[in-house]
Amino acid sequence: MERLREFLQGWVGKGLLVLFMLPLAVTGVESIRHSGDDPNAVAKVGELNVPQSALQNAINQRRQSLLAQVGGDTSLINDEILRKQTLESMIDRYLIANQSQNLGFSVSDAAITQMLATEPTFLDESGQFSQERFASFLQQQGMSKEQLFDTLRQDMTLSTFSRGVINTAVYPLTGVDKLLSQQTQLRPVWIARVPWQPFAAQVQVSDAQINQYYQQHKAELNSDDAVDLAYVMLDKNALPAPAPSEAQVQAAYQQYIANNPNAPEYDVSMILINDPNAQATLNQLKTQLDNKQADFAALAKQYSQDEGSKNNGGNIGTISQAMFPKDYAAVLAAVKGLQVGQVSAPVKTQYGYQLFKLNNISGNAPPDLATMRPTLIAQLQAQAQDAQYQDLISKINNDAVAGVGVEQLAKRYRLSAHTLPNYQTTHAQGLNQPAVMTAAFDPQLRGAANGAGHVSTGIDLKDRTVWVQPNNYRAAHAMTLAEARPMIKQKLVQQQAQALALARAKQIAAAVQQKNSVEGVGVEFSHLGDINRQNPALSDAERASAFSVPARADKLAVTTQATPTGASVLVGGVIHQDASAIDAASKRQAANMVRDAIGQSQFEDYLAYLRAHTDVTIKNAPANNP
């Protein structure tokens, strides 16, 4: 069963996931009803307009999803390709919507109501539909019931219509039996690979061969756009991280205590005096309390000038930042050093002088400063480093916009200037992130041919920022024989070396057939064990070759296969069946998925038909600004 699952996931399942979901991947909240000629539309599909706002929302959603996959590295996303693919996906969606509208295909309110009645979001504890939960959902989404029904009707119509086309596929069970039989075959396989590189030294390529190849393929031999790319790079982690002062560490610790949700809470009582003799008076009261000569509640009633607490024993509850907005750190420091029942020394606050008695501590005790110090220092250094990094980015950007070149930027900010000669659109060296390539060939930056370009603004490479200056731009052109010669020679050498590798593989195969063994034939074979037709240890061509020739109990099957890396010798034993994978449930599952795959192919054909027979106009629209 596991082998069948691998097969289904690896072939049919993958096809369904990619092909079926793509046309329906963009679900907008805007109604697909736009007709006429909308000047704000980015495309018109039949009688329906694709709004710019809907496209931008879809691009933003897809961009956020991609950023999550690449760890937030924006340089890995090509916004131009993202916009193109998203628009194509939306046009497919609108093609289906236009066709379903032309055919009068729709989903009724009753069907939507039935679907909502089983949605767990709207069910109460007893499993019944709750009007209150439904109303709360609408309020949270900022939608009316009519808007929700309209949006769901669109999605359900498109999904149901598409599924209706896909479900027309027919595939006989006899075909499923044959397919499963092939996919669940097992065969013991040995393999030896012969790389082409060691044979390259034996190859001699003449000028006549190079000239002949050039004449035969001249129309295909075109150079790529190219520039000489100068750049400077700022690495945040290479910036100095100065040690913070003791005052900064203390302040960070107090901030941590104040912000930590697990920090303890201190319940206190106080005596407040605000007159010229306040400090002296409170010192006398503290002496009496320390010597147990007086009661705190009685002294608070007699001396405290806080009318809200003096008659309640001075109790003010749990201290907080809001209670002492200017003096919380000082009050917290005084109270933290007390045991329950002890009284602090007089503390000067914005209200006067105060004496605090600790009544109770609740919550968890925070780590002390000594424990937190390494973490706080690292955080403060990282903050200082990041602030320095952002400041430098801003300054360099200002200079770049003002026309300062890469060499001058490097000197001004003590960075290293680098150059990547012959930086090309299809096989960029070093800086191959899409965002860098876009900037390198931006017509606004690259300047005139063979001249100096302009410096880009900073391109974020995740903890690094690069500024690029494309110089000496060369447009794509038909290559001369001199320009193409090195590439042609390398290709011909590889082709002939691959032929020699294949010849060697056939010699090895002949030796295996003669000995009927992989031992003692002058090359070491790897035993892959019993494999099926989905085994990832082999390439597609190798797998096909491995199962192409039958074997007898007394005779191994031997084949050779040319590969991009050279050639392979594949030796197989008797093919047998994994009978445990072919049960009735597996057959039904496979039949359904194969039919879905065929239906998906038919659906793609149907989409192609709609593209060919529906007026689709793509209008000029502003570039994506995420």
What pLDDT, in 10s, does the model give residues 415-428? 999 999 989 877 77
* Sign of the dihedral through C-alpha 145, 150, 154, 156: positive
State the Rg of the chain over Cα. 38
pLDDT greater than 60 at residue 470 = yes
Range of the domain at 546: 184-221+482-577
Q: Is beta strand 464-474 parallel, antiparallel or unpaired with respect to 48-51? A: unpaired
Claim to verify: residue 414 and residue 471 sit in the same structural domain: yes
Give the up-direction half-sphere exposure of residue 5: CA atoms within 13 A in the CB hemisphere.
3
Percent of the chain with pLDDT over 90: 46
> Which one of 456, 478, 500 terminates a domain?
478
pTM over 0.75? The answer is no
Claim to verify: residue 414 and residue 464 sit in the same structural domain: yes
Give the up-direction half-sphere exposure of residue 442: CA atoms within 13 A in the CB hemisphere.
17
Claim to verify: residue 306 and residue 211 sit in the same structural domain: no
H-helix or E-strand containing 401? helix 369-401
Q: What is the pLDDT of residue 603?
A: 86
150 domain-assigned: no
- pLDDT tens track for 283-302: 999 999 999 999 999 999 99
pLDDT greater than 70 at residue 248 = yes
> Which one of 346, 365, 384 terminates a domain?
365
Claim to verify: residue 327 and residue 377 sit in the same structural domain: no
Lowest mean pLDDT among 8-12, 488-492, 516-520, 536-540: 8-12
Residue 319: CATH number of its domain: 3.10.50.40
* Total number of domains constituting the chain: 3
- pLDDT tens track for 525-553: 999 999 888 888 999 999 889 999 888 88
pLDDT greater than 70 at residue 34 = no
Claim to verify: residue 200 and residue 297 sit in the same structural domain: no
Q: Which residue has the higher pLDDT, 260 or 501?
A: 501
CA 46/CA 207 separation, integer angstroms:
57
Write the CA distances from 346 to 307, 318, 361, integer angstroms.
19, 18, 20
pLDDT band at 49 (very low <50, low <70, confident <90, very high): confident
Claim to verify: residue 265 and residue 414 sit in the same structural domain: no
Claim to verify: residue 499 and residue 573 sit in the same structural domain: yes
Q: Could you tell me which residues come within 8 angstroms of residue 109 by beta carbon, excluding any fewer than 6 positions away?
A: 149
Q: Which residue has the higher pLDDT, 232 or 117?
A: 232
> Which one of 478, 501, 518 terminates a domain?
478
Claim to verify: residue 229 and residue 196 sit in the same structural domain: no
Q: What are phi and psi of 24, to 5 degrees?
A: -110, 15
138 domain-assigned: no
pLDDT band at 407 (very low <50, low <70, confident <90, very high): very high
Lowest mean pLDDT among 82-96, 233-247, 579-593: 579-593
pLDDT band at 578 (very low <50, low <70, confident <90, very high): low
Q: Which residue has the higher pLDDT, 415 or 63?
A: 415
Claim to verify: residue 465 and residue 378 sit in the same structural domain: yes
What is the rounded end-to-end Cα distance, in angstroms, of the chain?
45
Q: Are 254 and 335 in contact (CB under 8 A)?
A: no
28 domain-assigned: no
Lowest mean pLDDT among 335-339, 579-583, 602-606: 579-583
CA 566/CA 195 separation, integer angstroms:
4
388 domain-assigned: yes
Claim to verify: residue 199 and residue 216 sit in the same structural domain: yes
pLDDT greater than 70 at residue 346 = yes
315 domain-assigned: yes
Claim to verify: residue 349 and residue 385 sit in the same structural domain: no
Residues written for the chain: 626
322 domain-assigned: yes
pLDDT greater than 50 at residue 86 = yes
pLDDT greater than 50 at residue 15 = no
Claim to verify: residue 198 and residue 268 sit in the same structural domain: no
559 domain-assigned: yes
Q: What is the pLDDT of residue 7?
A: 37
107 domain-assigned: no
Give the up-direction half-sphere exposure of residue 564: CA atoms within 13 A in the CB hemisphere.
4
